[in-house]
Structure 1
Amino acid sequence: MADKVVIIVQARMASSRLPGKVMMPLLGKTLLARMVERLLIIRHRATVVIATSVNLEDDVIVEEAKRLSIPYYRGSLDNVLDRHYQAARLFEADVVLKIPSDCPLIDPRIVDDVLDYFFNNRGKYDYVSNLHPATHPDGNDVEIMTMACLQKAWDGATRPLELEHTTPYIWENPELFRIGNLEWQTGLNYSMSHRFTIDYPEDYQFIKRVFEELYRTRDNFSCQDILDLLQRKPEIYEINAQYAGVNWYRNHLNELKTIAAEQTRQAPLQTV
């Protein structure tokens, strides 16, 4: 029997920099809906689940999941590792994909590439990602783990950053887990230079512009389509270029033993 693959999209309304970002509009639908739309066209057979919190402010995400006919799970707001684990258990996953909801430009082909790598090396790895080290443009984050791996992390993780970010306990402990990584086949590394994720208002303007430029002629546009667009119209790249390389690692460099300072960048100072 084939492994049951469950893609867990973590989503919440709370955000210190851009509250409610997952429900912002993109061509008549929400950002969350557009992202789910892209995940549903991957080649591999998988169940997409939205994992949100029990907080009342996230009722709107549950209603969106119902509108999209996508199953959902509600759990802890801050212990996202537990949220992933309980959702994976509820939907009887054998293989779990962690995809954050701030990646609405994620390329379905990249998801398939990482799944191919995982299944082509069946039994060799507990955890496979395209993030350690990262080479794809930021916002194409794919992390895959066996259910046994996720449970081991759930059993062992105790530090706040491990609970908040789900997988650091895994990739920070290579002596406990068999870890694989898929680098971008182009041989390029755009992880610190190209930002396709959303955390700031400028990110939203960038993503909105990309959808407006590409979606109407090709609804399943690829990472390469976006890069080609940025070559033709560099002014779009500049919309959020100041945040390229800014990620959550920057706040935990003193706690992460496998992450170097050159893998993150401090956010530019905001002017009033």
Structure 2
Amino acid sequence: MYNILELANVHGGDKEHLLSLINEFSEFEGNFGMKFQPFKYDEIATKDFEWYPVYEELFFTLDEWKEVFIEAKKTKDIWIDVFDIYSVEVIKDNLSDIYGLKFQTSVLDNRKLFTALSKLDLSRLKVVVNVAGHRIEDIRNYAERIKNELKPQELIVQVGFQGYPTKLEDSGLNKIKIIKDKLNYRISFTEHLDPNDEESIRLPVVAVLFGADIIEKHIRHSSLETKYDFQSSIKIDMYRKYIELLKENNNLETFLNEKEKTLLLPSIPFVNENEKEYLYKSKQKPLAGHNLEAGQLLSLQDDLSFKRSPATGITIDKIEELVRSFCILDKNKQENEGFEERDFRKAKIATIIACRMKSTRLPKKAILPIGDISSIELCIKHTLQFENVDEVILATSTEDEDAILEKYTYSDEVIFHKGHPDDVIERYLGVAEKRGIDVVVRVTGDMQYISNDIAQILLKSHFETGADYTNAREAAIGANLEIMNVRAMRKIKKYFPSADYSEYMSYYFWNNPDYFKLNFVDLPKDLIRGYRLTLDYPEDLEMFKKIEEYFQQTGEEYSIKELFNYLDNNPEVAKINANCTLKYKTDPELIKTLKEKTTIKR
């Protein structure tokens, strides 16, 4: 049996009070922990939140927390209630001394918090997750997510919530057996009854007899004034009585009184109304983490903060739903402002295929036949398979020699655009402005074997991370797509009014990571091969013709997985162009020039 002494904020921001309280309860050793609540006023709440001045009063510095922990660890394991990024700083600063972490039900959706914690090695720590207000399936999902993200030694589910004081009938005792049976986690129990009520020391014993493994109990100083969190905190004499009760009683039937028996009736709801209200009022709200502009993608990790606030708005679940539906902001948001559904709109996504007729190694390659259609039409055909894309655009130049490409758009769905001959970014922006495009899937006319599977993975990641530019970290040459925001392309033009090397558009992003949010995605292994699938040499054309023969003869529908399957089983075909090289990766002079010409000068 393990006990956690919860100190909460009974110290009132007075370090000496806290140290005195630690010493007063030092007689309890062995299977005892002591839990602290380090947080920072401007991270846990907005300035207009009613308790903000109190949070300022309660703040301790990192050095002060270290001093407190040195004293506490003499007799107790140290537990931390995690609320904000400052909590994470305290944990990081004292990691070797910390035994466990506790997450209130109000912070379980704080993505920023869990991302920060996932960067620490928590494999030695136990984690308690309070699940007040949540259904059994929600509990299962939260527990699995936290285990996967934090990888603690053990995850323990806690029942009970803070009603200040909580009514006896709302204690949640009935959940212990249900959660143990259905989810197979050890259980922590916490109650927040009136400390003058005898049930405040009986109920934890009932919980233990009913299957709880850990009891969390609020305590306070016996003589010093307790300014905050006194509503359910007991003094040391009552805590001693609780421990004695715990030692003396091991039979549920003989210990239960009539009132307590009613708490275990099957008619009691798993989540009661007061519990729901508590969760609603205490839950941290997703707010703008900094000033945001209309038209930008919203990063679920970097653009949100989670705080206690009077601000109204939609939940993080709704925000995630909108982002995963490829929505972007439709209005400016100020820091600490909440979000409404009307603040978002569906992004207009277009695949833009850049293509010209000026190829030298393989003259007029865009209109050379591969199977029954030209190479550019084969590219367009596979591009039209992309889901979640509003338009496909073939973008060429205003030069006379490129006008012929208008006859090779494959489908009436495809928009034909003529723009700047050399500045490809200018060409893209020209059609993007005209068509109201927000996000571009960049394809070049020599990429005949692009993949919807890869496109969807990259698009999903692009929106979830709020990236400026997304690319697969590893992919077959000619199968790797790029996702980029029109806003980011405008930014490139601000620094490079004449983007003379934008045929190599990627480098304007790759060489400027301080100016753009770059997102490199690891594709599943079945979407990665070392094959060359770009059309630049006669050998490429020869191989592509064999690929098309295979698809026509077998009647198989094109997918990159089926293509890989064919090449895996026919290595002699894959070898046809294996010795062809990419100039921009092998020519040292070009590499040097690209680095120089595409890097923003500070």
TM-score range, shorter chain: 0.7 to 0.9
8 Å CA contact retained: 2:381, 2:410:
no
- Correspondence for 2:380 among 36, 42, 55: 36
Answering whether residue 584 of structure 2 is matched by residue 248 of structure 1, we say: yes
| Residue matched to 1:96 | 440
Answering whether residue 476 of structure 2 is matched by residue 137 of structure 1, we say: yes
8 Å CA contact retained: 2:424, 2:503:
yes
Answering whether residue 478 of structure 2 is matched by residue 125 of structure 1, we say: no
**Structure 1 residue ranges without an equivalent (≥5):** 259-272
| Whole-Å separation in 1 of the counterparts to 2:439 and 2:584 | 25
| Residue matched to 1:175 | 514
8 Å CA contact retained: 2:370, 2:541:
no
More deviation, 217-226/204-213: 217-226
Shift of 1:165: 2.0
Please show how residues 1-272 of structure 1 align to structure 2 within 5 Å.
Answer: 1-65=345-409, 68-121=412-465, 124-130=466-472, 133=473, 135-157=474-496, 162-186=501-525, 190=529, 193-215=530-552, 217=554, 220-243=557-580, 245-251=581-587, 252-257=590-595
| Whole-Å separation in 2 of the counterparts to 1:144 and 1:203 | 25
Shift of 1:72: 1.4
Shift of 1:28: 1.6
Higher Cα radius of gyration: 2
Matched residue type, 2:400: L
CA shift in 2, pair 1:68/1:14, >3 Å: farther
Shift of 1:248: 2.2
Shift of 1:188: 8.6
Residue deviations 1:181-222 (CA, integer Å, cap 9, x gap): 1122218964xx410110001101111111110245456422
Aligned residues between the structures? 250
Shift of 1:176: 0.4
| Whole-Å separation in 1 of the counterparts to 2:555 and 2:347 | 31
| Whole-Å separation in 2 of the counterparts to 1:66 and 1:105 | 16
8 Å CA contact retained: 1:5, 1:94:
yes
Matched residue type, 1:248: Y
Normalising to structure 1: TM-score of the pair? 0.84
| Whole-Å separation in 1 of the counterparts to 2:506 and 2:431 | 15
Matched residue type, 2:486: M
Residue deviations 1:6-54 (CA, integer Å, cap 9, x gap): 1110011110211211111122211111111111112223210000011
CA shift in 2, pair 1:164/1:219, >3 Å: same
| Residue matched to 2:72 | none
| Whole-Å separation in 1 of the counterparts to 2:566 and 2:453 | 18
CA shift in 2, pair 1:175/1:218, >3 Å: farther
Shift of 1:67: 5.9
More deviation, 11-20/208-217: 208-217
8 Å CA contact retained: 1:127, 1:143:
yes
CA shift in 2, pair 1:5/1:188, >3 Å: closer
Residue deviations 1:125-150 (CA, integer Å, cap 9, x gap): 111112xx4x1110113111111101
**Structure 2 residue ranges without an equivalent (≥5):** 1-344, 597-602
Normalising to structure 2: TM-score of the pair? 0.39
8 Å CA contact retained: 1:137, 1:195:
yes
| Whole-Å separation in 2 of the counterparts to 1:116 and 1:180 | 11
